[in-house]
Structure 1
């Protein structure tokens, strides 16, 4: 494991080579230019941003606004395919967010009493294999230098916080349970999820769930609509009073929404020198308020910036 001082030096040298921070001559003390995350983003170019595929975006429309979710077919292809089918069939339209557990998750789907048939799922599949992790060989894994308590390596894959384990030679990778992660609820059997019951992490990152539940995406915009929901008073945060549930107007794929009704968004690419500099600006805060740089950052403390395209 690298020591924190080496984390700082490595990131600093990389930033120097890329002219994203002040540099010193070899052997001399390193003098860093104070450059905030906002300043780095303001200096970004169009090449530093990507536009998500509308076929991988879910729009959850609530009375309070829209939650935009990016799906991750590279990690859970069968679940994502089923979620697309469910969305096209209007499965969640008129259902609700029926659980809000403090410092944990909100959950939505078709909650019914025991013995009462649930809503038909149309042409979607009722049973799917567990997709807790996948082979890492063909993923563009952009690793962080920071140590992690839950995995041998952590970093990002196409904007998604991810973890990787090569220690046993099997090269497996998975989406991490960070704030905003979307997962597929399951029962006791590992293969008991099919995407009809979904949850979003709204509390401290429950990384103990990694590789135990299929994770299928993350929220890009609208987390404030989920994180402020009143907490359920029943066990595990379920609402005992059905009137407290938050109704879902509808959930659609962005690709099925007329272009004029879509939410224009761009996401900062996580495989660029600029992103490395943004992470370093959060790892070691150098603005005047901070007395001591941390020298470390947790994977789930890195929020990937999202913006409205400048031309919109």
Structure 2
């Protein structure tokens, strides 16, 4: 080999990595995301729960998936029906639940439908965008307008993933009125998919629900009032003064940026990872949420 060729190759091999050489990671995708791929969450779809200890939980409601149950949630909130209720259950690796601890519950607002239909699944939307990875519980999984979605090719449903919010209910045909809600704080119990109405997800303040001490009664229910944390107020964000409304955005699930983010999640090349999985669970591909700049 000629000396100048060898020197060129040596210089090339020892050159520092350029930006193009850096691995694509979920964080790098989000850092490079243009402002146009972040979509505002409407204030009408945000529910703010303030607890007696001053902490707050913000939930995004999902009217496209459970319109009657979500209408009930809004009615309960606007009637201040939950104000004075409590966190009534914390079962580790499962759920945190809130509502009134004793029966009978206070009288429902007049606009609440006490026996909603079973909004456990809906016809598959044309907006559904599948991800190219297998799922144990569904023929396809993907996303619709910022929501994780599972499907059998004919119908769709929201999966039981961390932070998702479901409606507590009794045995069939009871579907739950949404007077008691829960959020998932542990491993995704996907066997519950299509058996419970899902009305939203926690988008801020999850730590105020996921780190509570387990209740001492069966299934993690709190036995005494002293164990429970009271709810100071529950409000729909659009009813708050504009300066007090949470301003949150989700990554547009129809964008190339989101596709790149999912691919990076499935094929981790961060310094920590020695072996990329080459796959991603739908519950590990929950669309990112951020505060609006």
Is structure 2 residue 91 aligned with structure 1 residue 101? yes
Q: In structure 2, what is the Cα distance between the partners aligned to 1:190 and 1:172?
A: 20
- Answer whether contact 1:139 1:157 (CA < 8 A) is retained: no
Aligned twin of 1:35: 24
> Structure 1 unaligned runs (5+)?
1-20, 23-31
Q: Give secondary structure in 1 for the equivalent of 2:165.
A: strand
- Answer whether contact 1:283 1:294 (CA < 8 A) is retained: yes
Aligned twin of 1:70: 60
What is the aligned residue count? 273
TM-score by length of 1: 0.84
Aligned twin of 1:163: 150
Is structure 2 residue 32 aligned with structure 1 residue 49? no
CA shift, 1:184, in A, is 0.5
CA shift, 1:141, in A, is 0.9
CA shift, 1:139, in A, is 4.4
Alignment of 1:105-120 (within 5 A): 105-113=95-103, 117-120=104-107
Alignment of 1:208-287 (within 5 A): 208-287=191-270
Q: Give secondary structure in 2 for the equivalent of 1:260.
A: helix
Structure 1 residues 139, 52: CA separation in 2 closer, same or farther (over 3 Å shift)? farther
> Structure 2 unaligned runs (5+)?
1-18
Aligned twin of 1:135: 123
Is structure 2 residue 114 aligned with structure 1 residue 126? yes
Moved over 3 A (4+): none
Q: Give secondary structure in 1 for the equivalent of 2:88.
A: strand
- Answer whether contact 1:190 1:213 (CA < 8 A) is retained: no
Is structure 2 residue 134 aligned with structure 1 residue 147? yes
CA RMSD across the alignment: 1.5
Aligned twin of 1:308: 291
Deviations 1:140-167, CA, capped at 9 Å, x for gaps = 112111100000000111111110012x
Q: Give secondary structure in 2 for the equivalent of 1:240.
A: coil
Aligned twin of 2:14: none
Farther off after superposition, 270-279 or 175-184: 270-279
Q: In structure 1, what is the Cα distance between the partners aligned to 2:227 and 2:96?
A: 13
Q: Give secondary structure in 2 for the equivalent of 1:296.
A: coil
Is structure 2 residue 182 aligned with structure 1 residue 199? yes
- Answer whether contact 2:163 2:206 (CA < 8 A) is retained: yes
Deviations 1:51-72, CA, capped at 9 Å, x for gaps = 1111111101122422111111
Q: In structure 1, what is the Cα distance between the partners aligned to 2:175 and 2:134?
A: 33
CA shift, 1:216, in A, is 0.8
- Answer whether contact 1:265 1:308 (CA < 8 A) is retained: yes
Is structure 2 residue 64 aligned with structure 1 residue 81? no
Structure 1 residues 64, 284: CA separation in 2 closer, same or farther (over 3 Å shift)? farther
Deviations 1:251-308, CA, capped at 9 Å, x for gaps = 1101111101111211111111101111111111112221111101111112322212
Q: In structure 2, what is the Cα distance between the partners aligned to 1:199 and 1:269?
A: 26
Q: In structure 2, what is the Cα distance between the partners aligned to 1:309 and 1:289?
A: 30
Aligned twin of 2:158: 175
Aligned twin of 1:12: none
CA shift, 1:180, in A, is 0.5
TM-score by length of 2: 0.89
- Answer whether contact 1:69 1:220 (CA < 8 A) is retained: yes
CA shift, 1:33, in A, is 4.5
Deviations 1:84-143, CA, capped at 9 Å, x for gaps = 111100111111010001100011111215xxx31111212222111110111x341121
